[in-house]
C-alpha cells in the first residue's frame, strides 16, 4: 500500500479527534438545553407571578418552549451517542438561533450586544457541529476504504489459492 492509501491505522488515528468534536458539540448543545430549561422555568413562574395579557398566548408560548427544550436536550444526548439525526438537528437549531440573533439586532429597538450574546455561541456551536460531521465522514470513509482493501486482499488470496490447484 502506498502512503496515500487509507489504512485501518488512519481510521484509529482520526477517532480521537471525532470523539473530541462529539464531546464539545454535545456540551455546547447541552448548555443550550440548560438555557432552555431555565427559560421554561422562568416562563412558568412568570405565568403565575404576573397576569398575562392573554393567558392562552402565555400557555402556548410555554408549551412551545418546553417542546423545544425537550428537543434540544434530546439532540444533546444524541450527539453524545454519535447519532446522525442529532447532529443535523443541532445544525438546524443553530441556524434558527442565528436568525433570532439577527432579529435581536434589527429594528429600531434592536440591541446589538444582545444579538452578539445570542449569535456568537450559536456560531461557535455551528462550527463545532460542522467539524464533527466532517470528522465523522472522514473516519467512516477511512473505515470503508480499509474494509474494501481487506476484501480485495481476501479475494486476491482466494483467487491465488484456487488458481494454484
pLDDT tens-digit series, residues 104-121: 888 778 889 999 999 999
In a domain, 132, yes or no: yes
Encode 99-112 in three state secondary structure. Answer: HHHHHHHCCCCCCH
Percent of the chain with pLDDT over 90: 55
In a domain, 80, yes or no: yes
CA atoms within 13 A on the CB side of 20: 7
- Report the C-alpha gap between 162 and 157 in whole angstroms: 9
Distance of CA 112 to the CA centre of its chain: 26
Give me the number of domains the chain comprises.
1
Average the pLDDT over each of 1-5, 23-27, 86-90, 126-130 and give the range with the smallest value.
1-5
Closest C-alpha to 146, from 3, 1, 7, 2:
7
In a domain, 141, yes or no: yes
In a domain, 4, yes or no: no
pLDDT at residue 17, as a whole number: 66
In a domain, 160, yes or no: no
Distance of CA 128 to the CA centre of its chain: 8
In a domain, 54, yes or no: yes
- Spell out a b/e string for 137-154, using b for 16 or more CB atoms within 10 Å of the CB, else e: ebbeebbebbeeeeeeee
pTM, whole model, 2 decimals? 0.76
Q: Where are the alpha helices (DSSP H) in the chain?
A: 8-49, 55-81, 84-105, 112-163
- Report the C-alpha gap between 23 and 161 in whole angstroms: 47
Domain that holds residue 80: 10-151
Lookup: cell for 19: 470523539
Mean pLDDT of the chain: 86
Amino acid at each position: 500500500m502506498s502512503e496515500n492509501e487509507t489504512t485501518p491505522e488512519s481510521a484509529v488515528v482520526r477517532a480521537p479527534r471525532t470523539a473530541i468534536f462529539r464531546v464539545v458539540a454535545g456540551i455546547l448543545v447541552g448548555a443550550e438545553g440548560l438555557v432552555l430549561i431555565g427559560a421554561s422555568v422562568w416562563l412558568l413562574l412568570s405565568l403565575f407571578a404576573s397576569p398575562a395579557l392573554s393567558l392562552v398566548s402565555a400557555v402556548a408560548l410555554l408549551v412551545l418552549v418546553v417542546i423545544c427544550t425537550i428537543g434540544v436536550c434530546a439532540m444533546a444526548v444524541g450527539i453524545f451517542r454519535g447519532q446522525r439525526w442529532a447532529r443535523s438537528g443541532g445544525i438546524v437549531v443553530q441556524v434558527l438561533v442565528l436568525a433570532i440573533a439577527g432579529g435581536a439586532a434589527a429594528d429600531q429597538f434592536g440591541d446589538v450586544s444582545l444579538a452578539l450574546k445570542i449569535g456568537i455561541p450559536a456560531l461557535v456551536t455551528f462550527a463545532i457541529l460542522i467539524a464533527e460531521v466532517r470528522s465523522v465522514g472522514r473516519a467512516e470513509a477511512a473505515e470503508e476504504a480499509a474494509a474494501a482493501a481487506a476484501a480485495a486482499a481476501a479475494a486476491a488470496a482466494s483467487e491465488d489459492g484456487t488458481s494454484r490447484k
